[in-house]
Amino acid sequence: MRLTFVGASGTVTGSQYLLECGGSRILIDCGLFQGYKQLRLRNWSRPPYEPRAIDAVVLTHAHIDHSGFLPRLAAQGFSRTIYSTQGTRELCRVLLPDSGRLHEEDAAFANRHGFSKHKPALPLYTEQQAEACLSQFRGVDFRQSVEVAKNIYVEFCPAGHLLGAASVRVSTREGTITFTGDLGRPNDPVMKPPDTPGPCDYLVVESTYGDRIHPPIDPEQELLDWLKPACERKGVIVIPAFAVGRTQTLLLMLARLRARNALPDLPIFMDSPMAIDATQLYRKFADEHRIDAEECRRMCSAAQITTTPEASKALDSGAGPKIILSASGMATGGRVVHHLKAFVGDKRNLILLAGFQAGGTRGAALLAGAEKIRIHGEEFPVRAQVGQLQASSSHADANELLAWMGKLPNTPKAVFVTHGEPAASDALRLRIEHELRWPAFVPESRSVHQLFDGFPP
């Protein structure tokens, strides 16, 4: 068995692992690189395999850094089945066409305004290409084993990160390897906790927060503490939020604050078409989360919905106080960048970051205290207050990752630490070696490892 780390090595984005066994080739995840330009350029380069030769793709979950390269892969010749949970399949029906549409809109905007170095600027893939690859999906129930290629079986185990999110356990004649995907938290306010891991010979574990511990603070109170001062100064609060997962958690907290009259009376807008569709899926997959029917109704009705580009543009002309929830969560694209252009220059306003900010993104620059940010070829001064929510992450922190791994019923031959910035991955590697006393490695990008053949040495 041979494992190639195509993506998510030295970064939290671009998750993609090539597993070769007995003449079969499967991909675990197929995500987009985001953040630094040198990473984003990888989306345009030919992958280190022939797409037509891939026998199957297996997705851990729907987030774009795990699924967003699929339309490009299909356009390059991959024509076989994409396996995922039922929830992931439904979310990808929302996320992937929207991603294609954004690529087209960004290219068209660049061409109209002439700030691209490419003449003409082209989309990585189109909405039509994204729609086309959806026919390749096959939904699989949690905890059901399915043969995805000759003598290669996979089982999806709930990971607690968002609807449909799974850890994937791959079984072959040689042995087993588990990919955590993005692992959720045991006490997440929305999602149920991850399943206890089953036995495996090798483990590939995420490390987004491998060097951090989430603070023991109430997430609703933390949100309120940011919102109230901005409301008092009649500011506009822009919250870049991932359309799937984080937006729904924020809507739930806003609904709860409103229900107990803790939140000032102000309009809340959800300006993300795909977040609108994704939120409705929480009703369909009610058995995967903790929210009862009444709270789900409140969550779904907590915000006014803007569906058209015209309605979105109108938000930029009104005064505060008001809250605008809009994707993308790292402010790399989508409607939120237009809201940043409108509101980042006013000191009354608040830009509240709600999730992890990968290096090289606008969100990371704002968090680092940038005095100006570049959007659509222009520089915009940053005068608004910038904050970040610390207590509402949907990723397990370092202690929670170690606790989950500690429940493994056997000692794996090796643990590969991926999906993290270098410092986070190496910090988690050290803790695995010192506390669990397991061999752990941080693989380099595109490194190839021969498993069950003397590895580790």
Domains identified in the chain, total number:
2
Strand partners, 261: none
Q: Which amino acid is at 394?
A: S
Residues 182 and 55 reside in one and the same domain: yes
**Residue 456 forms part of a structural domain:** no
pLDDT tens-digit profile of 327-385?
Answer: 888 998 888 999 999 999 999 999 999 988 988 999 999 999 999 999 988 999 999 99
Query: 91, 164 in Cβ contact below 8 A?
Result: yes
Shortest CA distance to 197 belongs to which of 160, 250, 150? Answer: 160
* 3-class secondary-structure state, position 146: strand
Q: For position 121, which CATH number holds?
A: 3.60.15.10
Query: What's CA 375's distance to the chain center, in Å?
Result: 22
**Residue 356 forms part of a structural domain:** yes
Residues 173 and 228 reside in one and the same domain: no
Q: What is the percent of the chain with per-residue pLDDT over 90, rounded to a whole number?
A: 80
**Residue 99 forms part of a structural domain:** yes
Euclidean distance between CA atoms 371 and 374, whole angstroms: 10
Q: Given 388, 405, 436, which residue is the final one in a domain?
A: 388
Instruction: Give the residue-averaged pLDDT of 128-140.
Output: 98
Q: What's the whole-model pTM score?
A: 0.92
Burial 380-391 (b: 16+ CB within 10 A, else e): bebebbbbebee
Look at residue 453 in the predicted model and tell me its pLDDT: 80
Query: 181, 159 in Cβ contact below 8 A?
Result: yes
Euclidean distance between CA atoms 313 and 129, whole angstroms: 27
Helix or strand run (H / E) with residue 429: helix 422-431
Q: What DSSP character marks residue 297?
A: H
Is 116 a residue whose pLDDT tops 70? Answer: no
Edge-first strand order for the sheet with 166-171 is: 145-149, 152-158, 166-171, 176-179, 202-206, 414-418, 440-441
Q: What is the percent of the chain with per-residue pLDDT over 70, rounded to a whole number?
A: 99
Domain containing residue 93: 2-212+394-450
Residues 410 and 318 reside in one and the same domain: no
**Which carries the bigger pLDDT value, residue 129 or residue 113?**
129
Residues 122 and 208 reside in one and the same domain: yes
